[in-house]
């Protein structure tokens, strides 16, 4: 009974969510696309002719947006889950933190890239502290990967959860990048602890 009640509440909330409705009208795979749109408008991350890695890309709304709105890009989308095809993308199913898949990404670009994006989060457990720590570990791994693959003037955008590990993430970010901002899009769900760090210019 409890599971059914939670499912019904989730469905009800989805129907009320303006960003869910808008994503369906505009043909995007999830409401998460509007987070990227807000981030890009504020921080000018994306442009024509750049190379981009979309980490944890499934179901693919960020890659969809980039593919639809920017020309002459090189885009790699990688996730543990299989995704439906998206035009102008090279899709990899695998763990970006595995050296085999990192090599695939590097071989595709054959040079450093302009932007690394990450909307990754571990599956929630119901324990907020555990969820914060798990997602922070993903963020740290993405930071290390970005340091290795980004151009000197490159940009890194990554989801973080505000909590016990926030200061640690900020410290590590400042050791790698010269410019760091924290931003919570208005399209993030109410009550969510998520924010994004926007990092530019490698040290």
Phi first, then psi, for residue 90 (nearest 5°) are: -105, 110
pTM of the entire predicted model? 0.87
pLDDT of residue 18: 85
* DSSP secondary structure code for residue 72 in this structure: S
Q: Is the pLDDT of residue 11 over 80?
A: no
How sure is the predictor about 20, in pLDDT bands with cuts at 50, 70 and 90?
confident
How sure is the predictor about 127, in pLDDT bands with cuts at 50, 70 and 90?
low
Residues shown for the chain: 203
- Report the pLDDT averaged over residues 37-51: 97
Q: pLDDT per residue over 171-187, tens digit each?
A: 999 999 999 999 999 98
**194-202 vs 177-183, strand pairing mode:** antiparallel
- Report the pLDDT averaged over residues 177-200: 90
**177-183 vs 90-93, strand pairing mode:** unpaired
Residues identified as active-site: 159
DSSP-based three-state secondary structure for 107: helix
Residues 155, 147: Cα–Cα separation, whole Å:
10
Q: pLDDT per residue over 137-154, tens digit each?
A: 899 999 999 999 999 999
Q: pLDDT per residue over 61-107, tens digit each?
A: 999 999 999 999 999 999 999 999 999 999 999 999 999 999 999 99
pLDDT of residue 130: 67
pLDDT of residue 10: 39
Give the architecture-level CATH label for domain 30-202. Answer: 3-Layer(aba) Sandwich (3.40)
pLDDT of residue 88: 93
**What is the average pLDDT score of the chain?**
88
pLDDT of residue 177: 97
DSSP-derived secondary structure for 170-182? HHHHHHHEEEEEE
Across the beta sheet with 113-118, the strand order is 90-93, 74-79, 51-55, 113-118, 150-161, 194-202, 177-183
């Amino acid at each position: 009974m409890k599971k059914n009640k939670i499912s019904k509440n989730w469905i009800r909330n989805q129907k009320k969510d303006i960003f869910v409705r808008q994503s369906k009208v505009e043909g995007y795979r999830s409401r998460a696309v509007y987070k990227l749109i807000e981030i890009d408008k504020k921080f000018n991350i994306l442009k024509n002719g750049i190379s981009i890695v979309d980490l944890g890309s499934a179901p693919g709304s960020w890659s969809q947006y980039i593919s639809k709105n920017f020309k002459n890009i090189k885009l790699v989308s990688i996730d543990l889950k299989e995704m439906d095809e998206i035009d102008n993308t090279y899709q990899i199913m695998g763990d970006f933190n595995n050296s085999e898949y990192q090599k695939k990404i590097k071989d595709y670009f054959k040079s450093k890239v302009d932007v690394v994006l990450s909307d990754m989060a571990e599956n929630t457990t119901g324990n907020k502290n555990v969820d914060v720590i798990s997602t922070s570990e993903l963020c740290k791994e993405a930071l290390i990967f970005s340091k290795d693959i980004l151009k000197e003037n490159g940009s890194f955008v990554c989801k973080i959860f505000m909590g016990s590990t926030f200061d640690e993430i900020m410290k590590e970010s400042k050791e790698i990048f010269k410019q760091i901002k924290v931003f919570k899009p208005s399209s993030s769900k109410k009550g969510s602890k998520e924010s994004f760090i926007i990092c530019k210019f490698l040290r």
